Amino acid sequence: MSPTPYLRLAGIGKRYATPVLSDIDLTLNRGEVLALTGENGAGKSTLSKIVAGLIEPSSGEMWLEDAPYRPESRHAAEKLGIRMVMQELSLLPTLSVAENLYLGHLPQRAGFLRTTELNAMAAEHMAAIGLDRIDPRQPVGELGIGHQQMVEIARSLIGNCQLLILDEPTAMLTPHEIDRLFEQIAQLKAKKVSLVYISHRLGEVEAIADRVCVLRDGHHVETRPMAGSSQDDIVRLMVGRDVLASTIRPTLPPAAPLLRVDALSRAPVVQEVSFEVRPGEIFGIAGLVGSGRTELLRLIFGADRADSGAIYLHGEASPTPIPSPQEAVHRGIGMITEDRKSQSLLLDKSIVVNTTLATLNRVTRRGWLKPLRERALTRELADTLDIRCHTLEQAVGELSGGNQQKVVLARWLLRDCDVLLLDEPTRGVDIGARADIYQQMEKMAADGKALVVVSSDLRELMEICDRIGVMSAGRLVKTFPRGEWEQQTLLEAAFSGYSKQAPQQS
Ligand SMILES: Nc1ncnc2c1ncn2[C@@H]1O[C@H](COP(=O)(O)OP(=O)(O)OP(=O)(O)O)[C@@H](O)[C@H]1O
Ligand SMILES: [Mg+2]
| Maximum Cα–Cα distance across the chain | 75
* Per-residue pLDDT at 83: 94
* Whole-prediction pTM: 0.69
- CA of 429, nearest ligand number: 1
Determine the atom of ligand 1 nearest the C-alpha atom of 405: 26
Cβ of 41 less than 6 Å from ligand 1: yes
Neighbouring-strand partners of residue 10: 61
The set of residues, in sequence order, having a beta carbon less than 8 Å from that of 115 and lying 6+ positions away, is none
Cβ of 359 less than 6 Å from ligand 1: no
Determine the atom of ligand 1 nearest the C-alpha atom of 404: 26
* Per-residue pLDDT at 282: 95
Q: Rounded to 10 degrees, what is the CA torsion of 190, 221, 156, 400? A: 160
SS3 16: coil
* Per-residue pLDDT at 108: 66
Q: Note down pLDDT in tens along the chain; length 506 residues.
A: 566 799 999 999 999 988 999 999 999 999 999 999 988 889 999 999 999 999 999 999 999 998 999 999 999 999 999 999 987 777 888 899 999 998 877 766 666 667 888 899 999 988 887 778 889 999 998 887 778 888 988 898 888 899 999 998 887 777 777 888 899 899 999 999 999 999 988 889 999 999 999 999 899 999 999 999 988 888 888 877 655 554 555 666 678 899 999 999 999 999 999 999 999 999 999 988 788 999 999 999 999 999 999 999 999 999 999 999 989 989 999 998 877 665 578 889 999 888 887 665 555 555 555 677 788 888 988 988 888 889 999 999 999 888 888 888 888 888 778 999 999 988 878 887 788 888 889 888 988 999 999 998 888 898 899 999 999 989 999 999 988 888 778 888 887 887 544 433 33
Residue 195 to residue 210: CA distance in whole angstroms: 10
Cβ of 42 less than 6 Å from ligand 1: yes
Spatial CA neighbour of 400 closest among 379, 372, 428: 428
* Per-residue pLDDT at 360: 58
Which residues line ion ligand 2, judged by CB < 5 Å?
45, 87, 401
Could you give the residue ranges of the DSSP H alpha helices within 267-319? Answer: 293-300
Domains belonging to the chain, first-starting first, are 1-81+160-242 (3.40.50.300), 93-159 (no CATH), 263-496 (3.40.50.300)
Structural contact between residues 389 and 436, judged by C-beta atoms closer than 8 angstroms: no
Pocket test for ligand 1, best of 24, 46, 430 (most atoms within 8 A of CB): 46
Structural contact between residues 338 and 294, judged by C-beta atoms closer than 8 angstroms: yes
Could you give the residue ranges of the DSSP H alpha helices within 416-457? Answer: 431-446
Cβ of 388 less than 6 Å from ligand 1: yes
Closest-CA residue, ligand 1 atom 25, reads 40
Closest-CA residue, ligand 1 atom 30, reads 399
Closest-CA residue, ligand 1 atom 5, reads 398
Closest-CA residue, ligand 1 atom 28, reads 41
What's the CA-to-centroid distance between 388 and ligand 1, angstroms?
9
* Per-residue pLDDT at 150: 86
Spatial CA neighbour of 283 closest among 479, 448, 477, 457: 479
Spatial CA neighbour of 323 closest among 357, 299, 293, 358: 299
- CA of 15, nearest ligand number: 1
Closest-CA residue, ligand 1 atom 2, reads 398
Q: Which secondary structure element, helix H or strand E, spans residue 100, and what is its range? A: helix 97-101
* Per-residue pLDDT at 505: 36
